[in-house]
A and B are shown apart, each in its own frame.
Chain A
Amino acid sequence: MDQRLEQLVEALTTSGEPELNPKQLKELKQICKSSDEHIRHVYHLLMTQLNQEHAEIRLSAFQIVSELFARSHQFRTLLIDNFQEFLELTVETNYLQPLPPPIEVAQKMKTLAIKAVQEWHEKFGEAYKKLSLGYNFLKQKKKVDFQDVRARTLAQRKREEEKQKRLETIYQEKAKRAKTEMEGMMADIQFCLTEMENCFKLLLPDPDEFNLIQEDTGENSSSSQPKPNRVLPSQSCDLDDEQPCCSKDLPAVGPSHENGVEKTSKDSDSEESDDDFEAVEESFIRDHGFGSHKYSLDIEISRDLKVSENEDNTDVVNSLKDSQKLAKNKYWPSLQSWIQIFTKAGITDESLRCAIDLKNKLEAAMKKHKEMNIECTTRERKVVRVSDDEEEDDFEEVPEKEGYEPHIPDHLRAEYGLEPSPSSSSSSSVKKIEVRKPAQSLAAPKRKRNDDELDPTCAAATLKVMRDKISAHSSSSGKNSNSKNPKREDELSRAPVVPFGIDLHFWGKEQPTAGKILKFSSQHRFWAPNETEEETENKELEAMLKTRYISFPGKFEPVTHKCRAPLPNGSLCERQDRIKCPFHGKIIPRNEIGVPINPKDREREAKEKFEKRATEQDWRDPELMREIEQATGEDLGSSRIAGKSKKKGKKKKYPNLTDLKQEANTTRFRLEKKVFHPGSVKRVISAMNQMDKRRHEKFANQFNYALN
């Protein structure tokens, strides 16, 4: 009877179903009903099942418990005696002991358990003191809301709170770091801002300051010398031409009202009636030679500003551009991140305000910069221009040069002993061709011989030698190959290009000094034997100078065929080896199910298979081995030989349950398995020990290394 009980409990709890099997349950109840002894037994069985680290087992066990709880007094006393543990296992009252996975099932069990506790309390609460205590405990201490379906217990809330707290501390720390960082960078940002501001002022005077000028003119009417220097010279000189005639003699107002100033005179009443303003006006009229003050000046200032860079304001524009770049690429993003950090950390004090202020200022400055629309002549262009200008210059700056120069400027060609190239622009490309593909282009039109060509230090001499050589070569071989010209050209196009070398230099000629080494028999400084020079020939050296290695690997052709040997899992081998698969041997043509097309191959394969099986079977009987293993307790490897199906059945005891290990099989888990494998750990340890040892040996005599 007891055995049957155990079987039933195990079958019921490991079914993995959300509901219990009614037939089995009925049988179980029948057995329990027969005696109290069985109830005690079943109680212990269920408690062990409830302790399993699998939510599905627990859920099923809990369902049986609730069935029995409603029926048997004996069972109730037993369970309530141990009610704390029961609550820990089903309602998760101890937050150090979370419910096991899978999570959904655990959640379901929890809600069910809470509901059950409530029902039990209503039904049996007054009779069982501990039950009502437990109910009160859940209600008041664990703050379980019995109406709440989600049933978040205190444990859960606590965990969340802890997480929140941790995050908060991290944010606080970050904010602190950002604060110090900001304090460090504040000065820089401020400096950058002021610099930009000043640049703006220099480039474009503030409209507010126009008034200032006007007031100045008004107040200092006697001097009548307003300050034109407030305006940038660049603008003033630009504007000089544009100004209408009447404003030509208005040094103050004219320039200050910059680009595209249009003045239309109209009869109108002066709308200003202020006395002192009138006085100002009068002096203004007198100063500027207006007939009366019955003018009304409509000044249109075009909105689209355009500041163009010229030699006068280059430095200003450059520094502005630098600081703008700095602001945009460095300060603005860091300010942004600080503000984010502060808001996340919930800091609303001076630093946040300061950061926001700074950001606004920066943004304003950047906007201004954008609006100013500075027409920049980029630095790269300037450099180019400088090199262009050099033609007219007196060779003041000679760029450094070393050895061979692929590009020779036109004006220097004479100096190098070269004829002026046909088109200066294509000189470099021509040159390139000459060097790279001597065979093709050096058969080009004949050129005048130059005296310079005799000078071996000249590039021209080298070129001439090459030209001569190639023309000779082509003439020797080309005469009879004229008829096969298209073919030759085709070959030429395919021919590899090799860099120039010493072997090409002496092409077809005997190298005079090849492999010859000067040998001094005496090492003395003054005393030397008569035959001072002694040349010895070295064959190897000579060969080295005369030969050239050209690696010609050919073209890579990807493998298109696959091994296609049948695999045990039913698919075909996907390996793409050229000749031989490391697992299945030589690659042979196979049909779509992996059977060799050649009957010979098929025969061979079948034979091999049979032989393999035979060799395995004759001395390793898995059954026998397993028996031996059981008897001796040593692993002989029977599981490896035994069929896979058997192994699986053995491993998976309860096929209906969700496999928790399957879920745990993540990348992290697999990596962990590799990294924390005892073998690898051991290896690392030994390596580290060795390193330590080496250091100890190295610094054995120094006391300050001796201790660590």
Chain B
Amino acid sequence: MLGLLWSRVCGLDSPVHLTRAEATRRVLSLELNKDRDVERMHENGINTLDIDPVEGRYMLSGGSDCMIVLYDLENLTKKPSFTCKALCKIGKGHPDVHKFSVETVQWYPHDTGLFTSSSFDKTLKIWDTNSLRLAELFQFDGNVYSHHMSPLATKHSLIAVGTKNPKVQLCDLKSGSSSHILQGHRGEVLSVCWSPRYDFILATASTDSRVKLWDIRKASGCLITLDQHNGEKSKSSSEAMNTAHNGRVNGLCFSSDGLHLLTLGTDNRMRLWNSATGENTLVNYGKISNTSRKCMKFTVSAACNPDFAFVPVDSTIAVYTIHTGEKISVLKGHYSDVDCCVFHPFYQNLYSGGKDCDILAWVPAMREPVPDEDSEKSRSQAHIHPAFQDAWSSSEEDE
């Protein structure tokens, strides 16, 4: 790191180089930290997490117990040990609380004054953060599996909603009504995701094993249906036969630069696609156990080189490099299935929620102090927590 700093000072490296290297190092050293806790609020499994993209300070969580909780992640106490406090919650007693399990929560991308939540009670709700009141309500005729707002769109404010209905609906916040319907899927739409690179590109994944890319300005249909065989097997047949997985597709995530798309299917595979051409890059991630019937929320790291994907696998979170498919590490900490994880781009923290009702914070490990002298070593030994010391009984030492 000193070398990097020195070359940065000398102007040998580009500005991003140092940050990238440091971010990558931190991601690689992610571990469960005893100093960082998230207050336990949910009484049932946690389905979704979202960190606000503006300040990176507030986190929303939605659980199967119909509750939405707002956490403050900032440590202002200046002590290493810190518990993220829940600032407020929308739970039982609130007049507009969701009736059934909350599936997705998302901040409004440009401001923390607004957030959205969708639930199995067939509604999508827009909330005013400051007053914690319902600002807008969209009703649908099926369970809402997921919704997403474009993180960079300034020309439109559309929310894509995937429901039990095969038609993807686009709800316009400006008019307060659903403006578009995207037809093409034949099964429930489990996941929707806007491209972080282009305003009007949307990806949707469905139980009919298809992943479609849409340009919402194009009226006639989808842009591409992703094909896992890259058209080799189904040359003769039409594009309608293309499938992305051999099973439900229940996870979607664009890479941070938006050039690639990751999909997760119940055939226990993850696939990486070129989002511009729709080509399967054929990266092999190995088996990723996945039997969920709902949307899986996995995430990718930002500003790292190489990029990493954090994928919930049963009760662990597996860390893969996106472009080589290498499994870097497995984060073990949850005692039950993990449903969602979210990456904090500023501090390279990872938050994960699962069916054991806990939100765990994965924090980069501190650099170990390099021991210089014997005296220092003995001193550092003294500082070690008594629990870390061995306790062999004296009677055994005698023998």
Tell me the A residues contacting B by CB distance below 8 Å: 26, 29-30, 33, 70-74, 76, 81-82, 84, 87, 93, 123-124, 126-130, 133-134, 136-137, 140-141
Contact = CB atoms under 8 A, between A and B. Distances in A.
B389 A141 contact: no
Contacts of A73: 387-390
How many chain B residues sit at the interface, stated as a range, is 20 to 34
Given A81-B332, A126-B34, A126-B387, 13 more contacts: A29-B392, A72-B392, A73-B387, A84-B315, A93-B335, A127-B387, A129-B34, A133-B333, A133-B358, A133-B360, A134-B335, A140-B357, A141-B356
A26 B334 CA distance: 35
Instruction: From B334, B356, B399, name the one whose CB has the most chain A CB atoms within 10 angstroms.
Output: B356
Given A127-B34, A129-B32, A29 B396 contact: yes
- Most chain A CB within 10 A, of B33, B335, B389, B399, is at B335
B393 interface: yes
A123 B386 CA distance: 10
A87 B335 contact: yes
25 contacts: A26-B399, A30-B396, A30-B399, A71-B393, A72-B390, A72-B391, A72-B392, A73-B387, A73-B388, A84-B315, A84-B332, A84-B335, A124-B387, A126-B385, A126-B387, A127-B387, A127-B388, A129-B32, A130-B32, A130-B332, A133-B358, A133-B360, A140-B357, A141-B335, A141-B356
- Among B33, B315, B388, B399, the most chain A Cβ lie within 10 Å of the Cβ of B388
A82 B396 contact: no
A348 B134 CA distance: 43
A130 B332 CA distance: 9
Contacts of B388: 73, 127
A665 B301 CA distance: 57
Interface string B332-366: 11111000000000000000000011101000000
B335 A33 contact: no
Contacts of B358: 133, 136-137
Nearest to A137: B335
A30 B392 CA distance: 9
Interface in B88-141: none
Interface string B18-56: 000000000000001110000010000000000000000
Interface in B370-399: 385, 387-393, 396, 399
A87 B40 CA distance: 21
A534 B194 CA distance: 115
B33 to A, nearest CB: 7
B180 to A, nearest CB: 42
B391 A71 contact: yes
A123 B389 CA distance: 12
Given A124-B387, A127-B388, A133 B335 contact: yes
Contacts of B385: 126-127
Contacts of B393: 71
B82 to A, nearest CB: 13
B390 A71 contact: yes
Nearest to A132: B34
A130 B358 CA distance: 12
B399 A33 contact: no
A128 B357 CA distance: 19
A394 B334 CA distance: 103
A74 B387 CA distance: 11
A353 B148 CA distance: 56
Contacts of B32: 129-130, 133
The 6 tightest CB contacts between A and B, nearest first, are A127-B387, A129-B34, A137-B335, A124-B387, A127-B385, A73-B388
A33 B396 contact: yes
Nearest to B385: A127
Nearest to B399: A30
B335 A129 contact: no
B387 A123 contact: yes
A26 B315 CA distance: 36
Contacts of A71: 390-393
Nearest to A29: B396
A133 B352 CA distance: 14
A420 B202 CA distance: 117
A129 B333 CA distance: 9
A153 to B, nearest CB: 12
A402 to B, nearest CB: 79
A82 B332 contact: yes
Interface in B260-317: 315
A129 B390 CA distance: 18
A30 B356 CA distance: 39
A360 B392 CA distance: 78
A91 to B, nearest CB: 11
Nearest to A140: B357
Nearest to B34: A129
Nearest to B315: A84
Contacts of A70: 391
A91 B124 CA distance: 41
Nearest to B37: A129
Contacts of B356: 137, 141
Contact of B387 (A26, A128, A133): A128
Nearest to A32: B392
B315 A128 contact: no
Contacts of A130: 32, 332-333
Nearest to A33: B392
Nearest to A127: B387
